[in-house]
Every structure is written in C-alpha cells, then in structure tokens.
Amino acid sequence: MENSYKYFKRDISWLSFNYRVLLEAEDKSLPIYERIKFLSIYSSNLEEFYEIRVAEHRSVIMKRKFIEEETEEAEETLQAITEEVNRQQKVYYRIFANQILPELNQHQVFLYQNCQPKPFHTDFVKNYFEEEVFPFLAPVMLEPEAIRIFLRDRRLYLIVRMYKKGDTPEKYSLSMIKIPFAKVPRFIELPPHEGKHYIMFIDDLIRANLSAIYPGYEIDSCYSIKISRDADIYLDDEKGNIVEKLKKKVKKRKIGALSRFMYDAEMPEDFLTKVRKAFEIDTDSLVQGGRYLNLQDLIKLPNPLGRDFELQRPVPINLPVLDRSDSVFERISKQDVLLHFPYYSFDYMLRFLTEAATDPRVEEIKITQYRVAEDSAVINTLIRAANNGKKVTVFVELKARFDEENNMQTAERMKQAGIQIIFSIPGLKVHAKVAVVLLKEPEDNACPVNYAYLSTGNFNEKTATVYSDMALLTSDPVIINDIRNVFFVLEGQIENPKFDCLLVARFNMVDELTRMIRRESEHVCAGRRGRIVLKMNGLHDQNMIAELYKASEAGVEIDLIVRGICCLVPNQSYSRNIRITRIVDMFLEHSRVWYFYNDGREDLFMSSADWMRRNLSRRIETAFPILQQEIKQEIIDILKIQLQDNVKACFIDENLNNNFKHDSNPVKVRAQTAIHNYLKKKAEMSAD
C-alpha cells in the first residue's frame, strides 16, 4: 500500500500557497493599500522562488550531474512551474488593472498607465526627468555582433525599438536602458490637480522622455524586461575559514546562472526573438509578465490618502503577569510564561535578555542566531552583557539564506565585544531558537535556578511585529539541562547527547514523532479516540507523510494547519481522515505546534522545525514540550480557533486548490482577530 501513496510536487504546492497570497489582493473587505501590499508580497515571493528553486532545477538540467530520471523530473517540473506561473501572472495583472487601479481612481488617486503626462504635468515630468533621472541613464545600443551585455538580477530594463529619422521602420535598432533605482524612486508623486492625486512609474516617466534620450530617432516601441539569477550559495567544502568562503560566494551571487527571463507579454514575437538573441536567452527561461515588472516595489507605492486606507493592526497586548513583576526571572522561577508575537510586544523578550545582561547573579548566556534584525536590539543587549563581565556564547548560523552578510557583520561586532562566537557546522544548518541563562553557584551551595527562552521564531524584533510566533520562558531544570546539551553539541563537546524532554532533529525528533503518531493509531485499534493536530509552515518529508497516511487509514482524526508547502494529498482513500487548512492573513503564520491527544493526556510540543526533509535530517532543530496545564490549554484553545476560521482559512483539495472555508455559520471567525481578542480577554481577567 505504501508504494501507492501519492505526494504533491513540492514546488507546485508552493505555487498554490503563493496563489493564496495573491487572492488576498482580491479581498475587497481589506483596505486598498493592504491589498496592494499582498501584490508586492506575491511578487517578492516569486522572485525568491526563481532564484532558489527554479535555479536548482535548471542546474540539474544544465550540468546533467544526476541520473537521467532526475534530469527528466527537473524538466517536467520546470514545465509545470512555467504553466502555473503564466496562469497566475494573468490573474495578477487582471487584479492590478481591473480591481486595484479602478479602486484607487474612486479615491482620486491616479496611477499613470500607458499614456503621456496630462498637460498640467508636462513641465513637471520634463523637469524632473532632466534634473533627477537623465544624469544617471546610460543607454546602450544592442548591436548584432557586439559583446553580450551582462544583465543584473532584480533590475529593470527598458528595451527600445527605434529607427533614424528619415529611415523606414524596417531599419530599426534596439537599445537598452537600465532604470537607476539606486538614484530615483520607483514611483514619482506628481503635483495634485483639482483634488486629484497623481503617481507615475519611473518607467513611464522615462518612456515619456525617450525622444530626449535618443535625439535623431523615431521611437517605435518600448518594453520592459528583467531577469532572475541563481541566488543560492553552495559551499563545496565547509571546512576551514567558512567566513571567507561565504564572503566570496555572496559576491558571486550577483552573477549566478539565469533562472528566469521575464518580459512584457505585449512584446511582438519578432521583437522578443531579437532580444533573446541579443542576450542569448533560451526559450525555456521565458516567463510572461505585464507592462510593469518588479512589482514587489508596490510596497513603496505612495499613499496620499492617509492611514484609513491601510490595515491597522491590533495594538500589542500588555501581559500583566510580567508587567506587575519587577523581575522576569522571579516570575518564571514560579511559573512558565508563554509569549505570543505579535499579539504581545517583543519587548518582553528583550526585557528577559536585559535582565540577564545586568543581573549580578548571571554568569553565562548562550543563544543561537539565525536571522536577526539590522542594528539588532538583541545583539546590542548581548554586547552589553559581555561588557558587564558575563560570559556570552552565540552560535551564529552563517548559512541563513539572504542573511549571510548581516550575520557575518553582527558576528564580527560581537566578537570585537568579547563574545565567544561559534560558526556554522559543516553540512548542517542550526535552525533552533533557544537561549539559556546560567547563574553563579549560590554561596549556600543551593542548586541555582537557571532560565531559558525557547521559540518557534527568530530573535528578530522587526519580524516579530508581523510573524505569528510563540515562545516559552521557563526555569524547568530538565528543559534547561537539555538546552545545555544542545549547546554542548554545537560547541563540539559531545556527539551523542541524551535528551530527556526536548526533541532534537538528527537525534531523537523523528523517532519520537513516529512513535507518537503510531501511538494514536494504537489507541484507535483499542477502541479509543485517536487525534492529531499539526501546525507548521511546510510538510514535505515523505516518510512522515506516509506515517500520517497510515494513521488516517487506522482511523486517526488528523487536522493539518500548513501555511506553505504541503505534499500530502487529501481526499484519497488513505487520507480520508486528514484535512488541510491554510490561513493567510495580516500576520505571517510562523509557529509550529504539534498536538497528540494520547487518550486524553494531550501531549503538546512547540518547535522551530517544519516537517521538511531538510529540517528533520540536515538541521539542528528543537521541539519543546508544554508541561503546565494552563499554558497547554491556552495553545489548544488557539488551535481550535484556527480550525474554526471561516473567513481567511482555506481547505486544500486533491488538486491543490485553495477552497475558502466560507460556510453558512452566521458567526464569522477570523482566526488572527479572534486570537487577539482571546489573549486580550485573558490578560484583562488576570489584571483584575
């Protein structure tokens, strides 16, 4: 039976998720600038997808380095990706042209589209171009025998077709202009006129002045192009000085192999053929776009209407249990505290670190770093701790994609402050989000109380305002001893640690998860209830999916809340007891929560890990148990709220469709709003 199980292709499943992001731009209940933001997020997501996933498939094909079957698989996957992306791009531009722009117009905001400036803007556009744009333009003629020009990724180019005045259009030439985004904004606000606001793409402002760039030529047409390049970093050998190796690789990222050539779909076929030949682009790399590319820039679209046209996110909730306590340590020495970001402020985590940095009893702080904010308050606090004489050890994962440079810079800052830095482990990524604070031995030889912070998300105060994560503050000695063992592994002191309660990838995580899944099946076979709820960002590992299929066949009720990639196929005979829910809303669902009913004993874990092959086999990840009943019930309540969502939740079907869970229930549950209200009510009750 196992051989007959079906699995979605990872990348096609991800495209289904990104399409769900795009659908937020169609939600007319959202303010217009929130919908525009989702257009930007969709484009940004897709850019990274081509830089990493598509580039990987192209590498397999180009190098022919794997067996023939894998090359064929890559080719089939690329074809499926291209077909699906082209379909989504049509929806994207339809939403932008037919919904977003008309609604902006209704509010007296006009984004110039494919037209010359109106008479009352002609002088402004001309003067702005001459003073702010023209000095930074460097048009290049595309000659048939000329040296091929290198195109930068994430840049926007205009290709102009023109012919000399007096010649016939057939004697045309092609020229290229790189739009100088480093010098000018993508959107130019024009002077208001009669109560109306006008905005112009810098692309169109340049188009309106092409005759000034090419005197002596008649302009025939002009189209946009852009490319994406392989941005992943492959280290053949991670031994030795990994910092220097990464620095070299990061520099080479800008010249990676081409993974996508995107062009205006209105470009005539003969024009496209000439452009392809000029840049030596193969047809497999072509992806259709619209007149405007690089639309992740929509996040920067000026808003002359004010905040009422943007989504107002809930104000972070005050947590009385910590607010009325002078010491975070004192509070968590009595009882664990659960933090919910961004429903609570990240300041509570910073307060925990600040107390560790200043408390004279604290001897040592150990923490992992995967992605931190630029000019990070977390890093500044750790430096402060080192300056105060604390021993501080930070494991820095340099291989956090697109954060390599920031991680190297912050690591150097910390090193100069006297912090002990441990860098990446060869062949592994460390994705665990843990910190431990160790106190000095008391003078009375009593056992010291130590403190820990375990989280589903990064130590990043910026992303903590938009990523939905959970974190546990605890003084539980068993958990803390396990965290110390994790750091001993990272420091190279032990190779085969024993963990009493933490699940740690590459050691005991997979075995324990498998055991708990099978235990639910055993309960069902014994006539008892079997129930599993798993919340995560990605589900890809086929071995774990097969375990869920078997549990479903045994009669275990399984709910999956998976935001992104989900390779499990629902609505099959072997998955009839499995439902997949996807929630996309104002906050990025990022927490990982694993619930096993266990005949009413209810085992609950939170984790940094998704059930992706890489997380379970090629990373150091941690999952930590929730032991205190009150906190356990709070998390279970939140899972129930998410499963009740009938506003932003979708069921994923056997065709990877996002089927909105809009039902006839007159009570509308929008999970993120309901969770905020739930936590706020609990906080108010505890404050009384």
Q: What confidence category does residue 80 fall into, taking pLDDT thresholds of 50, 70 and 90?
A: very high
Which pLDDT score is estimated for 2? 47
Query: From start to end of 243-333, where are the E strands?
Result: 258-264, 286-289
pTM of the model: 0.93
Which H or E run contains 649?
strand 649-652
Query: Highest mean pLDDT: which of 265-274, 601-610, 679-688?
Result: 601-610
Question: In this predicted structure, what is the pLDDT of residue 483?
Answer: 98
Q: Pick the catalytic residue: 57, 431, 540, 590?
A: 431
Q: Band of the pLDDT at 621, cuts 50, 70, 90?
A: very high
In the predicted structure, residue 65 carries a pLDDT above the cut 60:
no
pLDDT of res. 170: 84
**Per-residue pLDDT at 115:** 78
The answer to whether the CB of 405 falls within 8 A of the CB of 422 is no
Give the model's pLDDT for residue 202: 96
The position carrying tokens 């279970």 is: 636
Strands 196-201 and 109-111: parallel
Neighbouring C-alpha atoms within 13 Å toward the C-beta of 124: 15
pLDDT at site 453:
98
pLDDT tens figures, 422-481 = 987 877 889 999 999 999 988 776 777 999 999 999 999 999 999 999 999 999 999 999
- Predicted confidence band at 662 (pLDDT cuts at 50, 70, 90)? confident
Tens digit of each residue's pLDDT (9 = 90 or more) over 432-449: 999 999 999 887 767 779
Kindly state the average pLDDT of the residues 364-384: 94
Using alpha carbons only, how large is the chain's radius of gyration in Å? 28
The residue-averaged pLDDT of 154-158 equals: 93
Domains along the sequence of the chain with CATH: 102-309 (3.30.1840.10), 320-498 (3.30.870.10), 504-687 (3.30.870.10)
Q: Report whether pLDDT(3) > 70.
A: no
Q: What is the pLDDT of residues 327-345, one digit of tens each?
A: 999 999 999 999 999 999 9
Question: HEC states along 660-680?
Answer: ECCCCCCCCCCHHHHHHHHHH
CB count within 10 Å of CB 62 equals: 11
| Most confident listed range (21-25, 170-174, 246-250) | 21-25
Q: How far is CA 596 from CA 172, 530, 610, in A?
A: 69, 8, 16
Q: Exposed, middle or buried, 451 (CB in 10 Å: 0-12/13-18/19+)?
A: buried
CA distance 672 to 215: 57
Q: What is the pLDDT of residue 60?
A: 83
**Alpha-carbon distance 611 to 604, whole Å?**
16
Strand pairing category for 391-396 and 420-422:
parallel
> Phi, psi at residue 368, to the nearest 5°?
-100, 150
Q: Is the pLDDT of residue 67 over 90?
A: no
| Cβ proximity of 589 and 537 under 8 Å | yes
Contact 185, 201 (CB under 8 A): no
- Residue 57 falls in the annotated catalytic set: no
pLDDT of residue 235: 63
Provide mean pLDDT across the span 485-489. 96
CA angle at residue 360 from 354 to 362, to 5 degrees?
70
Q: Examine the pLDDT at 610 and tell me if it is beyond 80.
A: yes
What is the Cα–Cα distance from 634 to 642, expressed in whole angstroms? 13
